[in-house]
Amino acid sequence: MATFNTIPNLPKALSDTLHAQQFTTMTMVQERSIPLILQGKDLLVQSKTGSGKTLAFALPSLMMTNLEKNTPQTLIITPTRELAEQIAVQIQTLAAALPNFKTVTLYGGVPLRNQANSLDKGAHLLIGTPGRLLDHLSKGTLNLGSIERIVLDEADRMLEMGFYDDILKIVSQAKNTKQRLLFSATFPDKIKTLAQTLLHEPEVISVTPEHHEGQIEAYVITTNNKPKTLQQVINLYKPNSLLIFCNTKADTIALAQRLQQDGHAVTTIHGDLEQEARQEAIIKFSNGSSPVLVATDVASRGIDIDNVELVVNYDLPFDKEVYTHRIGRTGRAGSSGRAVSLYTSGSTKTAYILDETKKLELDNTQSSRNFTIGSHFKTIALNGGKKQKLRKGDILGTFCKEMGLEAEQIGTITLMANRTYIAIDKRVLKNVLKMLKSVRIKKRKYIAWVVD
């Protein structure tokens, strides 16, 4: 495995940031893609979820950006707003040491006008979803004339969502593009067609994972009583984090309610939630204040939720590729994971699961006490973030020194543009909220509330 330092002309600012994140060796897809991207080649890259594709395109894109020009030079197109946000965070982290590097995200659910204003101020890199990019193009608030490089991330997903024509329209408006990079977890025929249309003599990189099989232990259980079986699975593995997939929004909501009643600390994510609520669900899940997440497939793609110990398919998807993506949420970047699927006997659409997956037999005779997945933490929000120049250190400093909290009582701090989320020990929660009515952070008072 090659280290990042083998990349020719890697600026010190970037290598320091990688080092600070404890990224030393490149993943296979990074090792193979980065040098070719730096040579200006078009690429068609297939590599499984969790293999580090974001950095594979983000790092060379940053390296090739001319910071002297205040124009967008890279356009990243992604299927969903969650993924756009996730990529933006990764890129901002990576670019933290590059002076004045600016990214603008363009997706639906937030006002066009704000995004147009951000674009007016200038940016180096754009991340957007097809629909919103087209909105901006048709309104004349976005000009792709300066774009030199286009990245299609999760291209397979975009095609599944019916964005084929939209992608072509967007790309056709970026007339000065010199390089096109297409990233995908799978290689269905539709992707090959898109690649033939868009890419110029592409290098094809396909990374077949060597130890993929061992990384995720996948099991199937045949059951006609899913709620009971799910609790048995929880009793068996006692996971610290659990991601459960349902096929419909209604089932997601119903199951989350049921689990909540049983004492688990649960949150949900599905397509009907506003952008903010989706983001908050992901934050609560990632920071451990809601260690159980019940989701529809909105959450199964791209989103970088680390270290999910157990994925449960409460409902199996009808499409095997969707199944692969879902269980890819566990066992990411080298860690091992576990996935359990509940199969309803007789279901023909999901019978594919029976062929390759190991059957898990539950011991029904044992009446062990039900294990509940709880949390010591609750998440609070502050009405200020990066734009107000808040930093983690400021918050930790105020909470420990002025409010008298112990470091262990403060969990993950997540800074967004205009908001900060902080996991706080439940036992001091009330007190913290009370103190924040008068305590200032960096000379400013913030409004705080519990995110439920």
Instruction: List residues binding Mg ion (CB under 5 A).
Output: 53, 302
Q: How far apart are CA 406 and CA 209, in angstroms?
A: 43
Shorter beta-carbon distance to ligand ADP: residue 52 or 128: 52
Q: Which does 26 bind (CB under 5 to 8 A by kind): Mg ion, ligand ADP, none?
A: ligand ADP
Those residues whose C-beta lies under 8 Å from the C-beta of residue 243, and which sit 6 or more positions away, are 285, 292, 293, 295, 299, 305, 308, 310, 311, 312, 329, 330
Pairing of strands 310-313, 337-343: parallel
354 CB burial (10 A radius; 0-12, 13-18, 19+): middle
DSSP 28-96: HHHHHHHHHHHTT--EEEEE-TTS-HHHHHHHHHHHT--TTS-S--EEEE-SSHHHHHHHHHHHHHHGG
Q: Which does 406 bind (CB under 5 to 8 A by kind): ligand ADP, Mg ion, none?
A: none
Q: Which does 55 bind (CB under 5 to 8 A by kind): Mg ion, ligand ADP, none?
A: ligand ADP
Least distance in Å: CB of 15 to ligand ADP?
12
Shorter beta-carbon distance to Mg ion: residue 84 or 218: 84
Shorter beta-carbon distance to ligand ADP: residue 157 or 226: 157
Least distance in Å: CB of 13 to ligand ADP?
17
Residue 236's nearest CA partner among 316, 147, 309, 166 is 309
Shorter beta-carbon distance to ligand ADP: residue 53 or 226: 53
SS3 9: coil
Shorter beta-carbon distance to ligand ADP: residue 49 or 215: 49
Q: Which does 446 bind (CB under 5 to 8 A by kind): ligand ADP, Mg ion, none?
A: none
Least distance in Å: CB of 318 to Mg ion?
23
State both tokens at 214.
């061992």
Least distance in Å: CB of 216 to Mg ion?
17
Least distance in Å: CB of 281 to Mg ion?
19
Query: Buried b vs exposed e over 318-345: b needs ≥16 C-beta within 10 Å?
Result: eeeebbbbbbbbbbbeeeebbbbbbbee
Residues that bind ligand ADP (CB under 6 A): 23, 26-27, 30, 47, 49-55, 304, 306, 332-333
Q: Which does 50 bind (CB under 5 to 8 A by kind): Mg ion, ligand ADP, none?
A: ligand ADP
Shorter beta-carbon distance to ligand ADP: residue 56 or 405: 56
Least distance in Å: CB of 187 to ligand ADP?
14
